[in-house]
Amino acid sequence: MSKTMENLQEAFAGESQANRKYLAFADKADKDGYPGVAKLFRAAAAAETVHAHAHLRAMKGIGATEDNLKEAVAGETHEFKDMYPQMIVDAEAENEAQALRSFQYANEVEKVHADLYQKALDNLGEQTEVEYYVCSVCGYTRENEAPDQCPVCKAGKKAFFKVD
């Protein structure tokens, strides 16, 4: 792999992480009563997304939708089969309850994501419009309507938001 490709991968990861971190910082600034600071964090997060997408395009990391779905299935499957199980073991061994819960929730939800991506891949080309609802506690994702209770974290229906 070329040094430039390594740099693009590192830059993509860094910009992606900055985006997510700044959005979390914005939520905290809002809760702390600093709407102007929150807006700044959201603006910077949007800029980081622009950078990340540019790096991904330069890596030729966006393919045809079918290929993107296959990659998404593989990525989610890797996470729930290989990545998170070891992280769960490590968090248990180190008695890190908050990390353990975070890893367990993510592990369960990645299975759902893999299934949803596979379903979309299997139905690619069909003109079906599906609505998605996401649990704000654990990330569980559901088609068409929010459940009364999240099957992963047990949060109530009010914890779900519709993805536009």
Domains identified in the chain and CATH numbers:
3-58 (1.20.1260.10), 64-127 (1.20.1260.10), 129-164 (2.20.28.10)
Q: Strand, coil or helix: what is 138?
A: coil
Residue 127 has pLDDT above 90, yes or no: no
What pLDDT score does 60 carry?
96
What pLDDT score does 104 carry?
98
Residue 129 has pLDDT above 90, yes or no: no
- Tokens coding 141: 């994702």
Contact 82, 107 (CB under 8 A): no
Q: What's the rounded Cα separation, in Å, for the pair 142 and 162?
A: 10
Q: What's the rounded Cα separation, in Å, for the pair 41 and 146?
A: 30
pLDDT digits (tens, 9 = 90+) for 7-29: 999 999 999 999 999 999 999 99
What pLDDT score does 5 carry?
97
Residue 140 has pLDDT above 90, yes or no: yes
Q: Which residue has the tokens 């929730």?
A: 105
